[in-house]
Amino acid sequence: MKFRISRSALTDAVSQVSKAVSNKTTVPILTGIKATVDENGLWLTGSNSDLTIQVCIPTRQDDKELVKMETMGSVVLPGRIFSDIVRKLPGDEVEWVVDDRWKTVLRSEQAQFELKGLDPEEYPRLPQFQEDQMFSLPSDLLKSMIRQTGFAVSTSEARGVLTGVLWRMEEGRLTFVATDSHRLSRRQADVEAPEGLTVENMVVPGKSQSELGKILADRTGWVDVILSENQMMVRADNLLFFSRLLDGPYPDTNRVIPQGGKTEVRVSTKEILQSVDRAALISRDGRDNVIKWTVKKEGVVQVHSAAQDVGSVLEEVSAQVDGEEMSLSFNAQYMLDALRAVDSDEIQILLTGAMTPFLIQPADREDALHLIVPIRTR
Amino acid sequence: MKFRISRSALTDAVSQVSKAVSNKTTVPILTGIKATVDENGLWLTGSNSDLTIQVCIPTRQDDKELVKMETMGSVVLPGRIFSDIVRKLPGDEVEWVVDDRWKTVLRSEQAQFELKGLDPEEYPRLPQFQEDQMFSLPSDLLKSMIRQTGFAVSTSEARGVLTGVLWRMEEGRLTFVATDSHRLSRRQADVEAPEGLTVENMVVPGKSQSELGKILADRTGWVDVILSENQMMVRADNLLFFSRLLDGPYPDTNRVIPQGGKTEVRVSTKEILQSVDRAALISRDGRDNVIKWTVKKEGVVQVHSAAQDVGSVLEEVSAQVDGEEMSLSFNAQYMLDALRAVDSDEIQILLTGAMTPFLIQPADREDALHLIVPIRTR
């Protein structure tokens, strides 16, 4: 195995696959990054067994030669140190030579590193996919769906399937649902899918979804999502992202979403967010991190919180109020998460009672909603 | 106590005094920030008993009225939450009212916070100083002296006086010395001092000195340093910084500094730094974090490191070499700290033997030096 490669292309690719590499793992070879060079370019793979990221550096890109292959081959290098070395190498081009015992020499200008590599045959194989269960959507849309739901998953491993996000697909409409049973976030969008494709119960681990969001961060263009029984694959340009799926049926959440309310409030997203953010400074020192809203007919939402040993906060945000006056208390962090996920300038709040779940939605669209269960207070 | 104050001036001042406030302290009132308003402005004080920071917001500055005092007074507010509130308040001006039981109301536009304050009489008094032991220097010079010595203090509390930096003053020349007994850094500068002022054994705790560097970060102009028996005070514009001093005599370090060497090397600071930085990627996985230099007559420094389970690195940096060829090994982190502290483009390395301390100095000046004790290797 011998080739030369553009250092900047290598740095980018290594930093991407490193996102999947964990320093602590029960499978030692997974602390490594697998590298395979052939006539198409260099393939790098990182994995923590839950998720796997593979990136290809093509031989040529935009008329620039990125990889100059002399002899093909494959090796696994220790992930952390390899990625640090690549980042700090001098020069524009790295020479990479591996002998038949996987001893690897990386040479760039005056610097020469020798690393002990591992047998690539011991690295786990990538899952195989049939491409019959596949749909496509713009990367930006997928990222916004991830950002607007991921925070609502349960962080307790004991909650099993609730630590994941439900991805459902029906009649070309993709729905993401996440809930920890105290709050729920849902986002929908029309995507490009073959007619008749229905996906009922695909649950993506919250951590995988969040890594997917990060690795897509700078990417535009379309991505493909491809499914098998217990794995998913996301394909974007020269990137493959694999994640295992969570077992077990995801609960039916449609029935918990109220269809109408006693009180409807419209308010500036920014004003109510800043106000809740300030009130949270007091509530976080209290027992349950509770903030109270009092919606008043004259067109204000009073935001209030008190913590026994610290003090209290009170402010008013002007709003458009239709329906009954109402007071309700909620977890400050849940509200901040929901409000920060809203892209629109105005939100609509739909209240059904002091003790029943209420909805936060962007005022100008129906494809996103956040449900929060109020907290009973004295 | 009642006044109005510019929110931006308040935010700046609170963020400065907060640097001295610790969340965990055996003296509960020190988790607070003390505020005193009078006809001169608002004085804020934060302290963790080792160091104390006081900032004054003057009534007027640059033709702008910053503080509008109605009634004088003093209060202690919980530090962390007060500083968060100030940062997140809306509007440009904050109204601040304290009643006779120290209940404090902060009001700004639509937001109103009520905080439980504490009795300011319980807050420790500031140390008193006679101004006869005082010298002055530019803030930028003090910051560079701090930066070029502070990293070399011992981090082990058991080492007592070595956890501090020795500040000595003789014939108008200020010297900083720090050592953990494996390495030593020294920086000297001429400052403005009354004739005959001699300070022999003033030891500033490493943590205090580092906080002083941070709080001076954006300040230019001159600062005064004032001494008492066991305290120091640094005065800059509207800032007072107090630190206790460490007890006990600081060891005499002059005798450990070699006066001549067997080999003198001149090399680019940046090239040797980058090279050691890369070698450290390998050495940090070894037992003692050791890097080896081999200085060769033909004008190179070979930089080498090896770690049994990982691999090795070798590179050469071109240098001007006078004297014997020599090999020596050292702790990678000590070398990185020293090289990063050097401001000059070129360094001079003075080697006295494979097992005796060696010196790193800026090539073009004699006011700074870094000594490192080599490591014995197999």
Q: Do A111 and B317 touch (CB under 8 A)?
A: no
**Mean pLDDT value across residues A161-181:** 96
| Token pair 């998720």 in the structure block, residue | A51
Say yes or no: B223 contacts chain A, CB-CB below 8 A: no
* Dihedral, CA of residue A128, residue A134, residue A140 and residue A143, to nearest 10: -60
Q: Do A311 and B90 touch (CB under 8 A)?
A: no
Q: Any idea what the Cα angle at residue B8 is, between residues B3 and B11, rounded to 5°?
A: 85
Q: Which residue of A has its CA nearest to B280?
A: A85
**Mean pLDDT value across residues A82-91:** 96
Say yes or no: A283 contacts chain B, CB-CB below 8 A: no
Question: Which residues from chain A sit within 8 angstroms of residue B114, using beta carbons?
Answer: 311-314
Helix (H, G, I), strand (E, B) or coil at A107: strand
- Given a contact cutoff of 8 angstroms between Cβ atoms, the answer to whether B313 and B348 are in contact is no
Structure tokens at B79: 């530090």
How much is the pLDDT for B378? 62
Say yes or no: B38 contacts chain A, CB-CB below 8 A: no
- Given a contact cutoff of 8 angstroms between Cβ atoms, the answer to whether B143 and B217 are in contact is yes
Question: Which residues from chain A sit within 8 angstroms of residue B110, using beta carbons?
Answer: 275, 315-317
Structure tokens at A273: 């967010």
**How close is the nearest chain A Cα to the Cα of B237, in Å?**
32
Helix (H, G, I), strand (E, B) or coil at A221: coil
**Mean pLDDT value across residues A83-106:** 96
How much is the pLDDT for B24? 78
Q: Do A310 and B81 touch (CB under 8 A)?
A: yes
Share of chain A above pLDDT 90, in %: 89
How much is the pLDDT for A261? 84
Q: Do A274 and B315 touch (CB under 8 A)?
A: no
Residue-wise pLDDT tens digits, A236-266? 989 999 999 999 899 999 999 998 889 999 9
Q: Which residue of B has its CA nearest to A278?
A: B88
**Within 13 A of A251's CA, how many CA atoms are on the CB side?**
13
Residue among B204, B360, B185 nearest B272 (CA) = B360
| CA distance readout (Å), B160 to B45, B57, B164, B206, B207 | 28, 37, 8, 11, 13
**Mean pLDDT value across residues A2-27:** 93
* Domains in chain A, CATH or no CATH each: 2-122 (3.10.150.10), 134-254 (3.10.150.10), 257-372 (3.70.10.10)
Note the helical H segments in chain B.
7-18, 79-88, 139-147, 206-215, 269-283, 332-341
Instruction: Compute the distance between CA of residue B38 and CA of residue B164 in angstroms, rounded to an integer.
Output: 37
Interchain CB contacts (distance < 8 Å): A and B: 80
How much is the pLDDT for B118? 96
Residue among B5, B78, B68, B87 nearest B46 (CA) = B78
Q: Do A113 and B274 touch (CB under 8 A)?
A: no
Q: What ipTM was assigned to the predicted interfaces of this complex? A: 0.88
Q: Do B312 and A81 touch (CB under 8 A)?
A: no
Could you tell me the pLDDT band of residue A203, with boundaries at 50, 70 and 90? very high
Question: Which residues from chain A sit within 8 angstroms of residue B11, using beta carbons?
Answer: none
Say yes or no: A277 contacts chain B, CB-CB below 8 A: yes
| Token pair 């450990």 in the structure block, residue | B256
Instruction: Compute the distance between CA of residue B129 and CA of residue A370 in angstroms, rounded to an integer.
Output: 60
Mean pLDDT of chain A: 95
Instruction: Compute the distance between CA of residue A22 and CA of residue A19 in angstroms, rounded to an integer.
Output: 8
Instruction: Compute the distance between CA of residue B374 and CA of residue B350 in angstroms, rounded to an integer.
Output: 13
* Dihedral, CA of residue A349, residue A354, residue A358 and residue A362, to nearest 10: 10
| pLDDT in single tens digits along all 378 residues of chain B | 999 999 999 999 999 999 999 877 788 899 999 999 999 999 999 999 899 999 999 999 999 999 999 999 999 999 999 999 999 999 999 999 999 999 999 999 999 999 999 999 999 999 888 888 999 999 999 999 999 999 999 999 888 999 999 999 999 999 999 999 999 999 999 999 999 999 988 999 999 999 999 999 989 999 999 998 899 999 998 999 999 999 989 999 999 999 888 999 999 999 999 999 999 999 998 788 999 999 999 999 999 999 988 999 999 999 999 999 999 999 999 999 999 999 999 999 999 998 999 999 999 999 999 999 999 876
| CA distance readout (Å), A348 to A172, A280, B49, B79, B241 | 27, 21, 50, 36, 51
**How close is the nearest chain A Cα to the Cα of B334, in Å?**
19
Compute and round to an integer the Cα radius of gyration of chain B. Answer: 25
Could you tell me the pLDDT band of residue A378, with boundaries at 50, 70 and 90? low
Residue-wise pLDDT tens digits, A324-340? 999 999 999 999 999 99
How much is the pLDDT for B368? 97
Structure tokens at A227: 């499914």
- Neighbour-count burial of A215, counting CB atoms closer than 10 A to its CB (0-12 exposed, 13-18 middle, 19+ buried): buried
Q: Which residues 84-123 in chain A show a CB within 8 A of chain B?
A: 84-85, 88-90, 104, 110-116
**How close is the nearest chain A Cα to the Cα of B58, in Å?**
27
